[in-house]
Structure 1
């Protein structure tokens, strides 16, 4: 067998030199001297990290504003239905998770796509004659955000584009840009309860379009598409041969890709998987009915209160946990945009709403309607006080605009 000998020569303060000799079958051959290099740290941020941008975090984190210390803070910005205590988790869910924890049977690693029994439970729960579902059609993920990431990664390559609603959930763009995928924004129409502008949507399709994202019910709009509108969306997708990314798993055309991508992680939470079948089958229907009743009541209450405020135009929601409100900026000329409007709302009234610039839709703001009824009433009262203080009539607003 050939042998290799590397000799290192260097004396005193001089940089070491590598005197490389190749010795093969007894014959020595010099390859010359190679100057040694002192190792240096060169840990740099990846290209993916540089491309990752979350507009909600970027805008909210940059707000340098303190709430009014004389008023308790009311946050209508956080889309978490449990944080305020008026929409608690059902007791069946809590008990199921407790029993799984006590059993000790779900503390280890699970298959990356989820336990077979859990996938069977999900398939059985959502199966219907019009759309048969089996366990192999189900991949469990760590939350919906990971499901979106998997679906985007399996559908689109760097250099392709996806069609995303505007206003829309900011994570679509955050994930896509980090993967080198272009984002094209199609318009939703507030005057039509946030239906899709189908002509605008279809005009964006080209040979590099990988998928169309349909978010229904919508975050941030709280809208729900009618059956006829969904059929029109399907007609566009069918005509252009563009797959739709919705809250569902795709079939055979991308199944193997999803399986491979799911193996990049350890898989979804094992504790929740252990409790999943009980959660699906033993949570009483009344729990969902009561939750929806609370959200509908809050939506109606918030819509009515905000509709009575000069300078604001709320759009009535039909689902989800959100309500979008248009700011008639011509009546608030001292504010440059919705970000400045909501910053001042925080500093003066201690009410925190997300500016819709976070969702690519300026001059609106988003309200979360999961808070208790008395908190909604108090928040709307403060918003009214704020608007009445800063509202300018048409003539005054026009004069102020001309003076700029």
Structure 2
């Protein structure tokens, strides 16, 4: 393996084929006339078409060793592969201590081990008026599994869910897989990407079950204000639906707006908070997240949503017990200096990229992000030759330069492109 390959060993990069692969035998009949009675399920076919992973793979397939340039994978938001974003030593030590103690070698309960659930409740309670207990916390294998569990728990015939546009495609994929009808509301670029609450009311009906809020927002990079989140809660209560809030980027903020947890408004509307340590501590490979039920009135219990979550957790894989056992120490020793250093680098990168983009008139940065790990840019197609749209631009960029950016189409914002910072 070359030094270049070793440096990017954990990145998803294409494996260029050097010779034609042998053709496989037909799936339905072998040489002896046997008819096989099995075949691949197509249940995930629709869902898989809207994942970021599928788009990135497609772009990598357009890269070529003939270009003679290093592949630059700047289309996925995982900083952990770069040395300057290594997690803090306290988190590493916590995992090592559990590993050597042997205390994380057994199975755990479906909801997660009690010390870890208590630690998550304590971590979130620092900013909440209505305090959580360990019984309000369910541990998941990352925030993405939290999305899956919540959506499966809410799925019923004719149910629909309200998702933001632009948005994180995994929500679309999991809603499609769970059979939830997807209805989209817009985020308003001229109003700091606030939620179009009139639009929310216009698309909701008696079959709507929840409104999804991503704050800090991926992919737009904004942080919602206290007043706006209160209005979101009031709108959801008016419609009789819950709020699902994705707050996994709560420790990745480098702008001036402070983070406000949606759980502060649980006295108005039931709030399910999805979170984890993958982004804040830069350890997505550790796969530990949580679902927190902010519901002082007990609505989620009386409507049997809690029961459904527990049942779904009973039939899904548990997050690593080693990481669960290390979680109390990781959260209790959360190092503000570590977060500040990481966010300072991100802020510097944003300033650097925005400054360099001033010399590239066909790629415009409408607004500097203040959180997360993407910089959303707009393409000026009138200044480009033979470019149909953002996907066409990104495909040709990968093909000609081995440079991989994320087109706007997967996140439902046309003629835009996301750059990883």
TM-score by length of 2: 0.74
Q: Is the CA contact (8 Å cut-off) linking 2:160 and 2:183 kept in structure 1?
A: yes
CA gap of 1:307–1:226, structure 2 versus 1, over 3 A, is farther
Tell me the distance in 2 between the aligned counterparts of 1:318 and 1:358. Answer: 22
CA gap of 1:313–1:202, structure 2 versus 1, over 3 A, is farther
1:23 corresponds in structure 2 to none
- What's the offset of the Cα at 1:40? 6.2
- What's the offset of the Cα at 1:41? 4.0
2:420 corresponds in structure 1 to 368
- What's the offset of the Cα at 1:46? 3.9
CA gap of 1:329–1:183, structure 2 versus 1, over 3 A, is same
Task: Give secondary structure in 2 for the equivalent of 1:136.
Answer: helix
- What's the offset of the Cα at 1:334? 1.2
Tell me the distance in 1 between the aligned counterparts of 2:383 and 2:404. Answer: 21
Q: Does 1:62 align with 2:61?
A: no
Q: Structure 2 matches for 1:124-139, cutoff 5 A?
A: 124-128=122-126, 130-139=129-138
CA gap of 1:46–1:72, structure 2 versus 1, over 3 A, is closer
Q: Does 1:222 align with 2:221?
A: yes
Q: Structure 2 matches for 1:226-305, cutoff 5 A?
A: 226-247=225-246, 248=273, 249-250=292-293, 251=295, 252=298, 253=300, 254-305=305-356
Could you list the per-position Cα deviations for residues 309-368 of structure 1 after superposition, in whole angstroms to 9, with x for gaps in the alignment? Answer: 212221311111111101122222511110111122223333211001111222111111
CA gap of 1:106–1:58, structure 2 versus 1, over 3 A, is closer
Tell me the distance in 2 between the aligned counterparts of 1:140 and 1:240. Answer: 29
Q: Is the CA contact (8 Å cut-off) linking 1:193 and 1:316 kept in structure 2?
A: no
TM-score by length of 1: 0.77
Could you list the per-position Cα deviations for residues 226-263 of structure 1 after superposition, in whole angstroms to 9, with x for gaps in the alignment? Answer: 22222222222122122111131234312222111111
Could you list the per-position Cα deviations for residues 78-106 of structure 1 after superposition, in whole angstroms to 9, with x for gaps in the alignment? Answer: 21121122111111111111111111121
1:311 corresponds in structure 2 to 362
2:212 corresponds in structure 1 to 213
The Cα RMSD (Å) is 2.1
Tell me the distance in 2 between the aligned counterparts of 1:237 and 1:346. Answer: 42
Tell me the distance in 2 between the aligned counterparts of 1:343 and 1:261. Answer: 39
CA gap of 1:244–1:367, structure 2 versus 1, over 3 A, is same
Could you list the per-position Cα deviations for residues 50-98 of structure 1 after superposition, in whole angstroms to 9, with x for gaps in the alignment? Answer: 4432422343333442257343222211211211221111111111111
Q: Is the CA contact (8 Å cut-off) linking 1:167 and 1:220 kept in structure 2?
A: yes
2:16 corresponds in structure 1 to none
Tell me the distance in 1 between the aligned counterparts of 2:217 and 2:418. Answer: 12
Q: Is the CA contact (8 Å cut-off) linking 1:111 and 1:266 kept in structure 2?
A: no
- What's the offset of the Cα at 1:271? 0.6
Runs (4+) of structure 1 exceeding 6 A deviation are none
1:36 corresponds in structure 2 to none
Aligned pairs, number: 332
Tell me the distance in 2 between the aligned counterparts of 1:333 and 1:186. Answer: 33
1:377 corresponds in structure 2 to none
Tell me the distance in 2 between the aligned counterparts of 1:197 and 1:175. Answer: 23
- What's the offset of the Cα at 1:300? 2.1
Tell me the distance in 1 between the aligned counterparts of 2:334 and 2:392. Answer: 44
Q: Structure 2 matches for 1:134-213, cutoff 5 A?
A: 134-213=133-212
Which has the higher Rg, Structure 1 or Structure 2? 1
1:99 corresponds in structure 2 to 97
2:289 corresponds in structure 1 to none
Structure 2 unaligned regions, length at least 5: 1-33, 247-272, 274-291
1:109 corresponds in structure 2 to 107
